[in-house]
């Protein structure tokens, strides 16, 4: 089970490994915390009044298409997007948004899903949220909380029989080592890199990079990942940086999706190349 903050996160983080595991017969479930109602329209071709007026329903339809492409099951936790606060100082978050819901309340629908779906593996974001969007931080918090609470018969007894997921992972999608390697490969091929400006200000964090424990080879499914991304047409510009790097360069340079094993109740020595290492029957 992957826990994500918004529709499109399931396609931009770990989607190739998701598609690979689905192809292997694994039942993969995505829990989406919010409807992405306050997300900006990032594709210029979709930046129209009729799209903005119906953004909630359109983002649900996009999620349905991505879900079908990836071959996953998916549920909405039902919370309202907090939006990205801009300004200095930043404005207060909107009343009633996901980031402001008390953690015990916010985690409850996820506890219910975990107990119903009974996953072997749970993935979510690190404590930074992958990037510091308030919904991503909250997603991290409720995922860690629900991972523990779902296994405790004393907590949320009305939400089903307890279930202990065996492994908890954090995504490490945008570590500097990966971006630097892809950038260098683009330059070596005489191509313009979309990461040049970002890398100038990206500080080295060797301790952070060292947290990656698990690299899942899944480059054969980068195409499925890209199709799932394109399904989120309001969020993904097909002419933007997501698709500026040839897939062949990505596969040759960094053919894995990377994770950090945080908690394990099975014998799973790291480094690993499989989220199900140590689990005998992941299907």
Peptide bond into 271 cis (omega under 30): yes
Q: Which two tokens stand for residue 93?
A: 């978050």
Cα maximum dimension of the chain: 60
Q: Which residues contact 112 (CB under 8 A, 6 or more apart)?
A: 156, 159, 160
Q: Which residue has the tokens 């570590």?
A: 175
Q: Which residues contact 176 (CB under 8 A, 6 or more apart)?
A: 199, 202, 204, 205, 209
Q: Tell which residue, 233, 229, 232, 226, has the closest CA to residue 248.
A: 226
Q: Annotated binding residue at 204? A: no
Are 245 and 178 in contact, with CB atoms under 8 Å apart?
A: no
CA atoms within 13 A on the CB side of 249: 20
Q: Annotated binding residue at 9? A: yes
Q: Annotated binding residue at 171? A: no
Binding-site entries for Zn(2+): 6, 9, 136
Residues annotated within the binding site are 6, 9, 136
């Amino acid at each position: 089970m992957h826990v994500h903050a918004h529709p499109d996160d399931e396609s931009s983080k770990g989607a190739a490994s998701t598609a690979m595991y689905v192809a292997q017969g694994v039942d993969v479930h995505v829990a989406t915390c919010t409807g992405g109602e306050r997300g900006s329209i990032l594709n210029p071709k979709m930046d129209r009044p009729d799209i903005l007026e119906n953004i909630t329903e359109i983002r649900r339809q996009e999620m349905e298409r991505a879900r079908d492409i990836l071959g996953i099951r998916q549920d909405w936790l039902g919370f309202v997007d907090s939006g990205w606060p801009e300004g200095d100082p930043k404005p207060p978050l909107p009343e009633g948004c996901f980031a402001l819901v008390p953690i015990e309340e916010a985690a409850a629908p996820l506890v219910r899903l975990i107990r119903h779906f009974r996953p072997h593996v749970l993935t979510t974001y690190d404590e930074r949220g992958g990037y510091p969007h308030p919904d991503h931080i909250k997603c991290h918090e409720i995922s860690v909380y629900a991972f523990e609470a779902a296994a405790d018969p004393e907590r949320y007894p009305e939400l089903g029989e307890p279930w202990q997921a065996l492994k908890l992972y954090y995504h490490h999608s945008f570590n500097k080592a990966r971006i630097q390697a892809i950038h260098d490969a683009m330059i070596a091929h005489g191509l313009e890199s979309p990461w040049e400006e970002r890398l100038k200000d990206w500080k080295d964090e060797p301790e952070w990079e060292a947290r990656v424990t698990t690299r899942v080879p899944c480059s054969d499914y980068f195409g499925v990942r890209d199709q799932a991304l394109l399904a989120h047409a309001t969020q993904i510009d097909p002419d933007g940086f997501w698709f500026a790097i040839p897939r062949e360069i990505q596969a040759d340079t960094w053919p894995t999706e990377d994770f950090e094993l945080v908690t394990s109740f099975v014998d799973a020595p790291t480094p690993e190349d499989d989220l199900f290492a140590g689990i005998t029957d992941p299907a």
